[in-house]
Chain A
Amino acid sequence: IVMTQTPVSSLVTLGQPASISCRSSHSLLHRDGNTYLSWLQQRPGQPPRLLIYKTSYRFSGVPDRFSGSGAGTNFTLKISRVEAEDVGVYYCMQTTRLYTFGQGTRLEIK
């Protein structure tokens, strides 16, 4: 399964919303009824960390300004109000059939 993210980079003003899209080449609906799409954040110089799993479940400790949505082959990560600490690269990851990652979206502050 190929994962394609848009945009490649995003320049956002502090306090403004941001949105990242992820499209999969095949449906991510698993036969068990779950959709195994996750979002990861990688801050500069840091390893990736989990933000969102199963499309819309926020991982423990993740601020509620982060939200995930979508179904089938189209998914979105939204940040309601961007903060300085949100700078980094965001990846979508599917684990429905083996494991593949999007190419990443770089978020920068204006």
Chain B
Amino acid sequence: EAQVVASGGGLVQPGGSLRLSCATSGFTFSRYWMHWVRQTPEKGLVWVARINIEGSDTSYEESVKGRFTISRDNAKSTLYLEMNSLRAEDTAVYYCASLTTPAILGGQGTVVTVSS
């Protein structure tokens, strides 16, 4: 069974940084495009970033462009999200997933809280 588990969240001040990780198992990580999705009560589920198989092509939701960087280590089957210049509106539960069809979802997310 495919599993994805995000970690690395926490409380950070506005302007600060965090690095999220996503450990995966049960599927051939190196064959899947991977994504980060976040969820808040106000906005619901929102796609944040995606990366191709080789890690050479990335795409971001407009509000995080230039601040967030998605990356991957295929040897470790691990996905990352480097988050800089964090804002209060980045507060959310962050999930990693593969949104290629059928999607790989269902792993526990990690909570990021941006507050002073």
Number of residues from A at the complex interface, CB < 8 A: 22
B63 CB-CB contact with A under 8 Å: no
Number of A-B contacts (CB under 8 A): 58
Across-interface contacts of B102 in A (CB, < 8 A):
38, 50, 53-54, 57, 59
By DSSP majority rule, is chain A's interface helix, strand, loop, or mixed?
Answer: loop
Residues of B close to A102: CB separation below 8 A: 44
Cβ contact within 8 Å between A47 and B109: yes
Contact B105 A99 (CB under 8 A): no
Closest to A54 in B: B101
Is B99 an interface residue when CB atoms closer than 8 A count as contact?
Answer: yes
Q: Are A101 and B46 in contact (CB under 8 A)?
A: yes
Distance, CA A57 to CA B37, complexed state (A):
23
Which chain A residue lies CB-closest to B107?
A: A47
Residue-wise, chain B 73-101 has the 8 Å CB interface mask toward A (1 for contact) of 00000000000000000000001000111
